[in-house]
Structure 1
Amino acid sequence: MKNHFFKIGILLICVSLLSACTNSSTSREEGEDKHIHFLYNFSTNSLDPHVDSSYVPLRAGITETLVRIDEENLTVEPWLAESWEGEDGQHWTIKLREDVTFQNGKQMDAEAVKISLERALKESVAIQNALKIDKIEADGNLLRISTTEPFPEFVSELVNPNVSIIDVTEEDIVNKPIGTGPFLLKSFTPGSKLELERYADYWDGASNLDSVTFSFNEDANARTLALKSGQVDIVYRPEVESLEILQENDDIKVESTATFRVHQLTMNMERKSLRDVNVRRAVDALIDRQQIVERILLGHAEAATGPFLPSLPFAPSYEEHPMGEDIAVKYLEEAGYTLQDGKMQKDGEPLEFTLLTYSARADLPLIAQVFQSDAKQIGIDVKIMQIDTPEEYMASNRDWDLATYSNLTAPRGDAGYYLNATYHPTGALNFSGASEPELTAIIDKLNQTVSQEERAVLAEQAADYVNEHVINSFVLHPSTIVAYNEKKVINWLTTRSEYYMITNQLDVK
């Protein structure tokens, strides 16, 4: 932690020097193009919307989905689809808007949407498992979809950015996808930035902006300095330690918005030591959640007791469990471990963990360091391994024990997305390798249940099972923090879903 505070001091000095020699004024000259530079915390090397785990094409305003989230009411609302019906939960008719064109001028009709969805299904096993589509038929502006089983929440799954609608007849989808959104891609430098220009024929009204730069930097300190110096206009997730400095600048507005995200400690249940629930309980007991909220997030978070925010109707009320090093040691003793020569061991083998983390979320490596330090106090060596793309690494490698990971748990106001993705054997985010028949049965029943009251009960049952069996540990619910130049930027909205960023409403003064 000493290095951490030293880093803060360096940041303060750098910002002071930078602000002293930089004019932060960004007033626009008469006749100058309207342009915004947005700096995001995750980079991507591919803009294929059907597989990009950073969801950049949708976030950058290039692509759109058939339906979207109503951020205020947390319900699904029409977007490229005008309406839909499917009373039996298995046979769906979706009516598309008739005034939508792709950014190459081609009309978006049911046939174009059909082949886009079919490509998404082909490219992503995760989408296959999520949508459960059996057959798609196109008829003018009507799309008829049958699922393999009754699936009442099917339409809400179409919110997923990986189901964005694109013109699949274009040659280079990886580097230049053609969507229906308000901004057309001019150029893409993998891992660095996108240059976007207004799509004049956008169906929902052309943007007032002429162009947008959507760039990436996974260093939170660098993102903060870029805003402070006037190099960029909007920064997603600036460094938390720098917020006070940013708030002192009259030109900069900082927004902190509660979202449906959880920072969790994912447990690889395929590893020998973690197959024992008492070892998992010991790991969970070592996490000092409130200390992490206060010292690392500086209060911009809420300590987690489960995956879902307590305010959600399907979040269980958990009994408070004792935590701390002494409790962790008791669990380990129940698992057969003893402390010998300063090492926690069993049958002569020391208990050691490889802990994955990644820098795109600046607080996760710090959480990993706190856990490493606390584990050392009871004789457990934790090796921290930095990775770039957590989804790719965890899905392809099983040489790790624990991972700091951040996940949206209820981006659609419903528990189904997270439970299916994270705990169903076919889930795209089931990195723990959980395959629990009882839990799977609850999720399968949830998928076929229409009543919101019954769904809430089933979601609680699933969350209780996860809690009782300690399939992953939940650390905190972070706020999404965005800082921007309010002397220039108009109509920026920090969304709870974290999906919609560069919109046709965004403007400059």
Structure 2
Amino acid sequence: MRVLFRPFIAAVAVAATLAACSSTSGGDSADPSSIVVSGTYPMESIDPHSAEGGSAGKEFAGQAIYSRLTRPDAQGKIIGDLATEWSADPTATTWTFTLRSGVTFSDGTPLTADDVVASFQRLMAGDSPIKTNFTDAKVEAPAPDKVVVTAAKPDAALASKAATLFVLPKNVGADFFKKPVGSGPFTVKSFTPGEDLVLTANDTYYAGKPKVDQVTIRTIPEISARLTALRTGEVDLVWGVPDDQLESLKSDGNLKTESVSSHQVFTMWFNSSVPSLKSAAVRNALWKAVDFKTIVENLYPQTGKLAVSPLAPTVFGYSEQQPKAYDPAAAKAELTAAGFDFGKPLRLQFANSEFRPFNQAVVSDLSKIGVKVELLEKEQAVFIKDLIALNWDVNFQQLGTAGFDAATNLGRLYTCAAKRNGYCNPELDRLLAEAGTTSDAAKRQEAYAAASKIIWDDAVGMYPMSVQIAYVWNKRLDGFTLDASGYPDFTNATVAQP
């Protein structure tokens, strides 16, 4: 029996966009046909198949410019984007996607199954970490409106993984990204890496032209400057707002605020390939030395909750684990017994200044038991390069789960073959393979629960906090989607006349 999915398809738009500023917009958010927004993710590239393809800024921009076979809605349910329906064979190995008719790229060229196949091949030929979602898979186009994906082994989460494949025209030349062509709700007017992305409404978007003519995504690294721009009206919307700023913003009659649960967890991987961190006893002792409960309560009383899983509660596969007890005396004794070298600093890397206070607090707690930490705040591009190269001892990320399915987090990042954190456990590999290949939801949940327990008990990383995303916007803006991924959709956004 074939499993058939026919998603409800509203006037979807995966519009979203982030961080940047442009002289073309002049920052004039009083223009009723234009909005200016500033989130938390810098963008160095708008090539969704490049090495930064898994970074939040790139994914956010990609959803505005391009389309995918599927996408998550604001609550995390997988719905159709280019695909109107999809089905799997009884083993969940071969998946057939039926494409929406009449979709064109922004230059008027029809989008066909050949473009999907070419985009898949381009992704797999590059260095994006996203390609591990499709290892050894094959994609064919038996008809202009049909795409068949054959996984190397049964893959019950493939429809969710399809939300990470952005579709570009089949012919992508060297200069393509100077003026990219996509099928998303917006087109690129201008892009300055690390500074600004200016988008204009796509007249040919299949769900209808967006209601605002232009969205400027402005990069404002410092949160204080970002909020000043919001209060002065230079920016219409910000998100990822720290808790210590929310109360004053709520009292501002010109602003609205709302927080939504996300699929993101503060994740601090240990590099288990480093000799001093090979031992689970050492990793657990370091975790025990940090008072995450107090740090979260002090820094994120409204938008954070002490995590009890490597996954957020909104994600399929979530399983609550036993909280780690804070015990610095025991932590120091256990590190000493394990022969830990207190004289050699641990390199803790992170990106984005808003996470500086949190990481500083972690460093402070570790220093209380004599553990030295070199705190390294890196530019996004350098951070990602070093992340993949394992050029760190402890890595901080606000890590999300694409498609709201553990397959794109645990299943992609924690296997021996992934080589993402230096950790390798054959039993974990077995459980993740089982969870990824069975089509029985209950068995998948059970396997992910067992996998989460191994990850938690072995302290592959420290998992301090599950995240809510705080949005704050000027009242003149309405109709955008407060997205659980932190990728707001502006397709139906409107701006009140001044």
Q: Name the TM-score, length of structure 2 as normaliser.
A: 0.87
> Shift of residue 271 of structure 1?
1.1
Equivalence map 1:354-393=2 (5 Å): 354-360=347-353, 362=354, 364-389=355-380, 390-393=383-386
CA distance in 2 between partners of 1:313 and 1:190 (Å): 34
CA spacing shift, 1:365–1:137, aligned 2, 3 Å: same
Task: Give runs of aligned pairs for residues 334-373 of structure 1, distance below 5 A.
Answer: 334-336=337-339, 345=342, 350-360=343-353, 362=354, 364-373=355-364
1:490 corresponds to 2:478: yes
Inter-partner Cα distance in structure 1 for 2:375 and 2:42? 22
Q: In structure 2, what residue type is equivalent to 1:355?
A: L
Q: 2:469 — aligned with what?
A: 480
Amino acid of the structure 2 residue aligned with 1:145: V
Q: Which residue of 2 aligns with 1:55?
A: 58
Matches of 1:444 and 1:239 in 2, distance apart? Answer: 38
Flag the 1:57–1:289 CA change in 2: closer, same or farther, 3 A. Answer: closer
Matched, 1:469 2:458: yes
- The Cα shift of 1:502 comes to 3.7
Give 1:405 deviation, angstroms: 1.6
- Go from structure 1 to structure 2 and tell me whether the alpha carbon gap of 1:86 and 1:27 turns closer, same or farther (over 3 Å shift): closer
After superposition, the Cα gap between the structure-2 partners of 1:143 and 1:319, relative to the gap in structure 1 and judged at 3 Å, is: closer
Cα deviation 1:250-300 (Å, max 9, x = unaligned): 111112111111112210111111112221111110121221112112332
Larger Rg: 1
Percent identity at matched positions? 23
**Secondary structure at the counterpart of residue 259 of structure 1:** strand
| Match of residue 9 from structure 1 | none
Deviation at 1:239, TM superposition (A): 3.9
Match of 1:407 in 2: 399
CA distance in 2, matches of 1:107, 1:91: 26
Taking the aligned partners of 1:101 and 1:442, their CA distance within structure 2 comes to: 42
1:131 is aligned, of 128, 134, 145, to 134
1:152 aligns with 2:156: yes
What's the CA shift for 1:59?
5.5
Conserved 8 A contact 1:80-1:96? yes
1:481 Cα shift?
Answer: 1.3
Provide TM-score, normalisation by structure 1: 0.85
In 2, the alpha carbon distance for the partners of 1:238 and 1:225 equals: 12
Give the letter for the 1:462 counterpart. Answer: A
Give, in angstroms, the shift of residue 165 of structure 1.
0.9
Contact 2:346 2:393 in 1 (8 A): yes
Gaps of 5+ in 1: 1-25, 338-343
**1:96 equivalenced with 2:89 (yes/no):** no
Q: Is the partner of 1:225 in helix, strand or coil?
A: helix
Residue 237 of structure 1, CA deviation: 1.8
Provide the rounded CA distance (Å) in 1 between the counterparts of 2:273 and 2:159: 34
Distance verdict in 2 for CA 1:376–1:180, change over 3 Å: same
Q: Give the alignment of 1:285-300 within 5 angstroms.
A: 285-300=288-303
The residue that corresponds to 1:19 in the other structure is: none
- Contact conserved, 2:99 with 2:146, CA < 8 A, in 1? yes
The AA in structure 1 aligned to 2:361 is: V
| Correspondence for 1:419 | 410
> What do residues 112-132 of structure 1 show as CA deviations (whole Å, max 9, x unaligned)?
222122212212453432113
The answer to whether the aligner puts 1:141 opposite 2:115 as a matched pair is: no
Q: Are 2:200 and 2:214, in contact at CA under 8 Å, matched by a contact in 1?
A: yes
Give the superposition deviation at 1:63: 1.2
Number of aligned residue pairs: give it.
460
Measure, in 2, the Cα distance between the counterparts of 1:168 and 1:33.
Answer: 36
Q: Contact 2:243 / 2:302 at 8 angstroms: preserved in 1?
A: no
Alpha carbons 2:160, 2:405 under 8 Å: kept: no
CA distance in 1, matches of 2:35, 2:325: 49
Residue aligning to 1:77: 79
Matched-pair contact (CA < 8 Å) for 1:353–1:401: yes
Distance across 1 between alignment mates of 2:379 and 2:29: 37
Counterpart secondary structure, 2:388 = helix
For residue 166 of structure 2, the aligned residue among 164, 167, 184 is 164
* Deviation at residue 197 of structure 1 after TM alignment: 1.3
User: Structure 2: 5+ residue runs without aligned partners?
Assistant: 1-27
SS in 1 for 2:473: strand
Distance in 2 of aligned mates of 1:201 and 1:437: 49
Shift of 1:374: 1.4
Deviation of 1:154 after TM superposition, in Å, equals: 1.3
Deviation at 1:27, TM superposition (A): 9.1
Letter in 2 for 1:391: I
| From 230, 233, 237, the counterpart of 2:233 | 230
The answer to whether the Cα contact below 8 Å between 1:358 and 1:386 also exists between their aligned partners in 2 is yes
Q: Which residue of 2 aligns with 1:46?
A: 45
Q: Is the 8 A contact 1:293 1:476 kept in 2?
A: yes
- Name 1:21's counterpart in structure 2: none
Equivalent position amino acid for 2:362 in 1:
F
Task: Specify the alignment match of 1:259 in structure 2.
Answer: 262
Question: 3-state SS of the aligned residue for 1:260?
Answer: strand
Cα offsets for 1:198-243 (capped at 9, x unmatched): 1112110111111111121221111111101111111122343222
In the superposition, relative to structure 1, how do residues 234 and 314 fare at CA in structure 2: closer, same or farther (>3 Å)? Answer: same
Deviations 1:11-60 (A, max 9, x none): xxxxxxxxxxxxxxx996xxx65111111222222110222322256466
Q: Please give the root-mean-square deviation of Cα atoms over the aligned residues, in Å.
A: 2.1
2:491 alignment counterpart: 504
1:293·1:300 contact (CA, 8 Å) conserved in 2? no
Specify whether residues 442 and 496 from structure 1 end up closer, same or farther in structure 2 by C-alpha distance, changes over 3 A only.
same
Amino acid in the other structure paired with 1:134: K
Contact conserved, 1:301 with 1:478, CA < 8 A, in 2?
Answer: yes
Is the 8 Å Cα contact of residues 293 and 299 (structure 1) preserved in structure 2? no
CA distance, structure 2, for counterparts of residue 60 and residue 442 of structure 1: 32
Matched residue, 2:10: none
Describe the superposition over 1:418-462 as per-residue Cα deviations: whole angstroms up to 9, x where unpaired: 1122201333xx532112111111111111111110000000010
Residue among 254, 275, 286 paired with 1:272: 275
Question: Offset of 1:477 from its aligned partner?
Answer: 0.9
SS in 2 for 1:483: strand
By how many angstroms is 1:503 displaced? 3.2
Alignment of structure 1 residues 307-346 onto 2, 5 Å: 307-310=310-313, 314-336=317-339, 345=342
